[in-house]
Chains A and B, each alone.
Chain A
Amino acid sequence: MAMAVTLLAGCAGAPPSAPPPLEPEQPRSDPPVSTLTVIRAPEDIDTRTHALAEGDQAIDPQAVGYFMDVFRARVQRDLADTGIDVDPGETSVLVTFPSQIGFEFGSAELTAEAARLIERLAAILREYKATLIVISGHTDNVGDSNFNLDLSEARARSVAEYLAQSGIAYQRLMIKGFGSAQPVADNSTEAGRASNRRVELMLRLIVRRTASGLAASETA
């Protein structure tokens, strides 16, 4: 599942949209991140992961299994029956918002329903601090691809900003717009296109770097 986010190098470089000047609530790590980070290259995620792994929010390697189990249980419980898809992996959880419950057509504005659900997710993430949240926006292949790219990133940003407002540090948030480049279903049917219009949140476990030096978090 983690692959979905990491292997995306060849995408058309989208112009970075200006981050809204939101007040960061509390930067924690040494390099304070006070704005939303847009992923430019796959290595960005690793770099951020390594940075977080040295912070005090990271999880002890021996508690990884326990953390993932209770985290997964919590996400499943709180997001069950909301239309949000939860796909737990070994050291990450993929949460997918279908666009129809999150946004008006062609808009990056969160609906009231989406805001409520994201607030719920934020409550979990506030407790389960040892996670990096990689948010990626996706569209179907209908319409102008540049527009789609912009729209997808704008939607990812909306979600990220909402989480930030709800108390999640910018440091734990990264976004990327994919446009229609990573469909999960067949774009030739309406149902397939609906599946492709989505925002994915990859919740990646941050494991503390031990004296032995290696972070155990990444799946090869």
Chain B
Amino acid sequence: MKSVRKTLLVACSVGAIGVVMPIALVLWVIWQQTVIVEEQRLVELSQDLAAQTEAAIVDARSLLERLNKQEFEPCSQEHLLTLQNEALSRLHLRAIGYWEAADRLCGAGLVQGQRLTPQRASRIYDSGVVAWWPSPDTTAGDVALFLMRFGNHDVAIDPRLLITPGQLRDKRVALWVEGLKMSTYPEGAEFPEPASLPEGLLVDRERNQIISRISLGSVFPIEVVAIQSFEDFWDRYRLPLTTIAGIGLVLMLLWLILVWRYLNRQLSLEAALRSAMESGRVHAVFQPIVDLRSGRCTGAEVLGRWTEKNGDAISPEIFVPLAEKAGLGTKLTLTILEDLLRHLASCPDDDQQVYHLNLTEQDLALPEFSRRLRESLDRYNIAPERVALEITERALLDCDRIRQRVAELRQRGHGIAIDDFGTGFSSLSYLQKFQLDTLKIDKTFVDSLETESVTSSVIRPIIEMGLALNLEIIAEGIESIDQIKWLTDHGVKYGQGYWYSAPLNSAGFKAWCSEKKP
């Protein structure tokens, strides 16, 4: 019983792994996908910001160039209107000024007279563009501005507006232009220097975040560092992931229950059969074989019967295939044989009845079986002629070794009968090739005698063939007097079936036979 438990446990574990693995795989794939999607978003966002910044700066520069080329009277009404319009048409532009040397003569945005003249330019380009990155020196109204001057004009860009918070959701972003920090969101947040990060994506497991660094260098170097923490997007994807995990778990439990129940049934039945055979609860019963004309009992087909302690009988249709599948076929045959021999030993010596024992394919395949059969017969001192062996057609097919074994058994004196003839791969050739004694016509053919169905036309040639080969013919499953009549009319000598008797136990069979003796 312990080994059964162990087998069950192993089987269930295998089943569980079989279910858990695909679910885990699905979850993993989904998680990977969400990470990829989020990473792509982060990269796209960074790229957008970089492009946006580059566009803003390029635009500012070309605006300055345009303003320098226009030939206004400096600080005329027309000039000031142009500056104002240009400033108002750009979201991120806070001011445009007209300068001569270090004097801001007029402009839009800043109060007249106010000017931002930071001590040191961040960049002076050969083109003549001078730029001041946001710093306390460029602060007006608490906003550190990005200043760019070219010729006589300058613009003041609000770097906060280069990053549009709407795009960001739960991400943090910092913007560098020319290696100098331009803007961050949220304002004042700490960021690692771009130079300390690899280009592209970095998964920072220590802090549970993804960092993307995008560099844009088409006009001038722009770096965007965007950071998203895992927690944020775990929050977003928790529901679908847990739902899938839950469904998976339920499916797995159902599967486990199914596997458990099936295996439990199979294994317990097998174990029960084994113990039934060992404790003698599987025994032989005898269905009489009768001379159809005289009604005399000529022998019996020996069948297995499994009776549980509580009296429940288990059908051979269940336990015979089970025994064969579990490799217990030969054990079953030998168990029944033992019972048969005990029965034979208790019969009077002058008895001439022949008992038909069913062999399984396994019996014939096992060289040992033939030896054990002989040993058993010897032990009880029973002549082999008393025990005929019933073999299915299938067992005889195409296997010389088995044919040889069958021939040996026949040599020893056993009668050889072909069981369920007509249901298998009936072929004339093997009937000739083998030395057989008896043909048993399957119950289905006998049944069909009354229904006139297609199969009924088959029985006639079978009988004729058997007679031609000089074989003894036994009809199985006789259930009516009409069948007996037809069979005897067509030369069939022997039969068995419920018309005569159901399978009987040893004593029952003896009684039945003595009653039938004339």
Contact = CB atoms under 8 A, between A and B. Distances in A.
Interface of A: 59-60, 62-67, 69-74, 76-78, 80, 127-130
Contact of A72 (B117, B118, B119, B124): B124
Contacts of A129: 101
B127 interface: yes
Given A62-B117, A62-B119, A74-B151, 13 more contacts: A66-B118, A66-B121, A70-B99, A70-B130, A73-B121, A73-B125, A73-B149, A76-B124, A76-B126, A77-B127, A127-B101, A129-B101, A130-B101
A78 B117 contact: no
A73 B121 CA distance: 10
B66 interface: no
Nearest to A88: B124
B128 A73 contact: yes
Among A77, A78, A130: residue with most chain B CB under 10 A? A77
Considering the complex of A and B, which 6 residue pairs feature the smallest CB-CB distances, nearest first?
A: A77-B128, A66-B117, A65-B119, A69-B121, A67-B102, A63-B117
Contacts of A130: 101-102
A59 B99 CA distance: 14
Contact of B128 (A60, A64, A74): A74
A115 B54 CA distance: 40
Nearest to A124: B101
Contacts of B118: 65-66
In the complex, which of the residues B99, B125, B130 has the most CB atoms of chain A within 10 Å of its own CB atom?
B130
23 contacts: A59-B101, A59-B102, A60-B102, A65-B120, A66-B117, A66-B118, A66-B121, A67-B101, A69-B120, A70-B99, A70-B102, A73-B128, A73-B130, A74-B128, A74-B151, A76-B128, A77-B126, A77-B127, A77-B128, A80-B126, A127-B100, A127-B101, A128-B101
A63 B125 CA distance: 20
Describe B's contact surface by its main secondary structure: loop
Nearest to B120: A65
A80 B118 CA distance: 25
Given A65-B117, A65-B118, A65-B120, A70 B127 contact: no
Contact of A70 (B101, B119, B126): B101
Contact of A71 (B101, B125, B127, B151): B101
Contacts of A78: 128
Contacts of B130: 69-70, 73
A61 to B, nearest CB: 11
Contacts of B102: 59-60, 63, 66-67, 70, 130
Nearest to B103: A63
Contacts of A65: 117-121
Interface string B122-152: 0011111110000000000000000001011
B163 to A, nearest CB: 27
Nearest to B129: A73
B101 A73 contact: no
Given A59-B102, A127-B100, A130-B101, A66 B128 contact: no
Contacts of A64: 119
A60 B103 CA distance: 10
A66 B119 contact: yes
Interface string B87-109: 00000000000011110000000
Nearest to A69: B121
A70 to B, nearest CB: 5
Nearest to A75: B128
B405 to A, nearest CB: 109
A207 B125 CA distance: 25
Nearest to B127: A77
Nearest to A130: B101
B101 A69 contact: no
Interface string B321-349: 00000000000000000000000000000
A131 B424 CA distance: 120
Contacts of A70: 99, 101-102, 121, 130, 149
A128 B102 CA distance: 8
A133 to B, nearest CB: 15
A60 B118 CA distance: 13
Nearest to B152: A127
Residue of B101, B121, B124, B152 ringed by the most chain A CB atoms within 10 A: B101
Contacts of A74: 128, 151
Nearest to B130: A73
A27 to B, nearest CB: 20
A85 B151 CA distance: 20
A128 B151 CA distance: 12
A144 B149 CA distance: 49
Contact of B124 (A59, A73, A80): A73
Nearest to B147: A66
Contacts of A73: 121, 124-125, 128-130, 149
A163 B119 CA distance: 30
Residue among A65, A66, A128 with max Cβ neighbours from chain B (10 Å) = A66
